[in-house]
Amino acid sequence: MDIYDLINDFLEHLEVESGRSKKTIDNYRLYLERFVEISLEVLGKNEMGPQDITKELLRKYRIKLNRYGTDNGNEDLKTITQTYHLIALRGFLKYLARRDIKSLDPSLVELPHVVRKQVTFLHFDEVEDMLEEIDLSTESGLRDRAIIELLYSGGLRVSELVGLNRDSINLDRREFVVRGKGSKDRPIFISQSAADRVRDYLDARTDSLPALFLNNSRHKQTVDTSGNYRRITARSIERIVEKYARLAGITKHVSPHTLRHSFATDLLMNGADIRSVQSMLGHADISTTQIYTHVTDMHLKEIHDRFHSETS
């Protein structure tokens, strides 16, 4: 069987039966097509089948993948990016095994050890410094304040915030549901301040567009009927967050995800249990949430200072 036909079958399976997002499927297609590209070069063939995927081919593929950027005059692929390639390949091999198509045992695809980057977060006073830089006399300022407060108060991913509509959020109850990664729904709870700032922004608007947050630049905007006309983009939100962090004199790199980190860190520092934080972040695996437990270091220092005997 042709390898490309099998890859297409696998991607359709991910879409229909596994409910994976379009972005995930596009990424898997890229990773698997790159695998075939490298494999054909290694094999010295113009075409290949699933039976050609052997332990030796896998070994040579990993070497080529590690040198992929250098060989193509670009930056080398980061270890985490190489890991995504291997996860896609392992998923494909599992799919072939379920269909009884002879190929490499998926258990032989071992993932490299990835050292997690240190989490960057803002303290509460730094978030307040950002908010104080916003001019609330304009509609754009009211929008920006509402965006930053929602990101920090609800721990939203930027993609989740972009997709919100006016009727998505209950400002009286200060809670709503978002559909996050893996098409999983989770509840979002926000502070009274965040709810008030969203209400201020909506009260200032004179349009009837469904999107909760709008891009105020009307240049090159085309009217559509999908409900996305003038909907703000993730990149615009990134610029907004970066702008106010810079104005507040914060030197560390600040992104919308930094505010999500800050949300989780603030909860843990104030005594929230990690399982609850896991649920509020929408993490499928608690090991993902455990990257935030670095904040307990501060509590450990307090315990050390309080209980450890000093020598004279």
Residue 59 CB: number of other CB atoms within 10 A?
12
Distance CA 216, CA 31 (A): 37
User: Given 13, 99, 181, 230, which residue is catalytic?
Assistant: 181
Is 94 tagged catalytic? no
Give, in order, the Cα–Cα distances in Å from 214 to each of 60, 69, 165, 168: 49, 38, 10, 15
Distance CA 70, CA 157 (A): 33
Is 181 tagged catalytic? yes
DSSP state of 178: E
Per the structure block, which two tokens stand in for 150? 């929602």
DSSP state of 302: H
- Contact (CB, 8 A) for 256 and 264: no
Give, in order, the Cα–Cα distances in Å from 188 to each of 54, 174, 289: 46, 8, 17
What are residue 186's DSSP bridge partners? Answer: 178
User: Given 62, 143, 231, 260, which residue is catalytic?
Assistant: 260
Is 260 tagged catalytic? yes
Helix 124-132 × helix 234-247 angle, to 10°: 100
User: Given 85, 143, 197, 283, which residue is catalytic?
Assistant: 283
Is 299 tagged catalytic? no
Give, in order, the Cα–Cα distances in Å from 294 to each of 83, 118, 265: 24, 9, 9
Is 292 tagged catalytic? yes
Residues taking part in catalysis: 157, 181, 257, 260, 283, 292
